[in-house]
Amino acid sequence: MIEPAIQHKIDAWLSGNYDEATKSEINGLLERNEHESLADAFYKDLEFGTGGLRGIMGAGSNRMNRYTLGMATQGLCNYLKQNFPGERVKVAIAHDCRNNSDVFARIAADIFSANDIEVYLFEALRPTPQLSFAIRHLGCHSGVVVTASHNPKEYNGYKVYWNDGAQVTAPHDKNIIGEVNKITSIDEVKWEAKPANIHMLGQEMDEAYMAKVQSLSVSQEAIRNQHDLKIVFSSIHGTGITLVPEVLKRFGFTNVHIVEEQATPDGNFPTVVYPNPEEKEAMTLALNKAREIDADLVMATDPDSDRVGIAVRNLKGEFELLNGNQTGALLMNYLLLAWKNAGKLTGKEFIVKTIVTTDLIKDIADSYNVTMYETLTGFKYIAEKIRALEGKELYIGGGEESYGYMIGDFVRDKDAISACALIAEMAAVAKDRGQTLMEMLVEIYTQHGFYKEELVSFTKKGQRGAEEIQQMMADMRANPPQTIAGSKVLEVSDYKHSTRKNLVTGEESKLDLESSNVLQYLTEDGTKVSARPSGTEPKIKFYISVNEPLDSKENFDAVDRQLSEKIEQILVDLKLK
């Protein structure tokens, strides 16, 4: 049986001004008695969260479709008009390779234009960071990109940006949500486009963006010496193919090999299960090609090209995937060393990482006497920190463990295009010194300690799954562990309630970050465990970080085993396996 409230919503869609294809999809589910699918499609409205929309595509109030997108866009239009009275409001729009992304982008453009808002629409798919750049470059008030990042193929989404090129933060995020929630009917949406208000973006914006990326280069001599560094690149059927090969060429790299099977943009992602470079399986074809040609470096970007995963030769000469913490530590160390060697460190520079990203980055920053700030998970918070310090301190770079990096501040979101360029440059510098990137990383470990991290995710789909995740967090708050892998828990940080409690003294302090549903435990031996429900996927994530001193490269394997055993014990202790 379908619950009465859900049936009421279904009836409203079947009798409303929805197109026949939508009604036919709903009727098909009814005829096949697919009550669970109907319940999930209608049990709530697709939530316009602090980042925008994201959901499974299909008919229904809890699905990503032209109507849920249309109502969200109308709410955003209303907010922009209120927020910039008397101004000619401008927005930029981009989209990725996903099924319907181009259609959704055009619908959004039509609605903005119908509301007398000036629209700058990319003529074809482009990376998300280029949308952030375009907002700043064109002086837009806002922007949207149609993407679901690295979610499975049935998803799509819609991310909203503000006039600094960053995803919206307080107070605009909550205010936009309020305006979107006021739109209760598709009949309130202005659907009829005003074509004169829509302007297409193409090559000229690519050129402006790539010029900025080229300005980040700090080791041109190493690239000249190692221009034939063998690089394998995969765009995993996404937008990276539009810019990464060209940017690498402009940096001076002459030996870049594209994974052709994954080079054509395709929202069905036919060669992978998940289009996510964090997944080993998604990197299989790139790794095969790397072995075949004896490459130096492997890089792969996700569908909207804001994340990059890499593989390098390990100490045994075999290809190994680095995690986001390792790549982030390498990049931050590389940038800080380059700035120091160039005499550019004045004491007013800073880098940023998120609260679930390795503390190795803090140790590196401290060694250069550079300030490191911590933010909540999400690049909108890193961008917010840059905005707050503009004119006072200078941002060098930042990142988070989930394969996102942002170098320089001309883009205010994670940017895999510039990251690919700088990672390749860093590999050229390492090779120029007779090193691999892994040897460079081990050198960092001997200086600052060997940090090893593990991410464990549990997927809990649908209404029941969301309730299970809430219960897991409630249980951990009610019963925090006293020890983890034999080490006493010293501190519990509850970012939801903005408190940090010292379990030894009982003292509580205030966390100077906005509320977020994250719990973090710190133990006597430096182990850190964080629990965080994902904001964009039906998952709860556990981040584990352990560390030990490393006195020499020769002891790498022994300490690596020791840290792996400790992680295994933590997984058992916290019942995560």
The residues annotated with a catalytic role in the active site are 149
**DSSP helix, strand, coil percent of the chain (3-state; round to 5):** 40, 20, 35
DSSP of 33-96:
T-HHHHHHHHSSPPP--SSEEEEEBSSSTTSBSHHHHHHHHHHHHHHHHHHSTTS--EEEEEE-
CA distance 406 to 399: 6
Q: Which residue has the tokens 């997927």?
A: 459
Cβ 143 vs Cβ 91: under 8 Å: yes
Q: 121: part of which helix (H) or strand (E)?
A: strand 118-122
* N-terminal to C-terminal alpha carbon distance within the chain: 36
Cis geometry, peptide bond prior to residue 85 (ω within 30 degrees of 0)? no
Task: Give the 3-state secondary structure of 483-502.
Answer: EECCEEEEEEEECCCCEEEE
Residues 6+ apart with CB under 8 A from 251: 214, 217, 223, 421, 424, 425
**Residue 85, Cβ neighbours under 10 Å: how many?**
7
Q: Is 32 exposed, middle or buried (0-12, 13-18, 19+ CB in 10 A)?
A: exposed
The pairing of strands 52-56 and 155-162 is antiparallel
Cβ 299 vs Cβ 424: under 8 Å: yes
Residues 6+ apart with CB under 8 A from 485: 523, 527, 546, 566, 569, 570, 573
Nearest to 306 by CA among 541, 51, 96: 96
Cβ 412 vs Cβ 132: under 8 Å: yes
Backbone CA torsion sign across 330, 336, 337, 342? positive
CA distance 357 to 401: 5
Partners of residue 10 on adjacent β-strands: none
Cβ 321 vs Cβ 283: under 8 Å: yes
Cβ 97 vs Cβ 240: under 8 Å: no
Beta strands in 403-482 (DSSP E): 404-407, 450-459
| Helix, strand, or coil (residue 465) | helix
CA distance 172 to 52: 12
Q: Listing from the earlier edge strand, what are the strands of the sheet with 349-354?
A: 371-375, 349-354, 394-400, 404-407
CA distance 279 to 154: 18
Backbone CA torsion sign across 357, 358, 364, 365? positive
Nearest to 76 by CA among 44, 127, 112, 39: 112
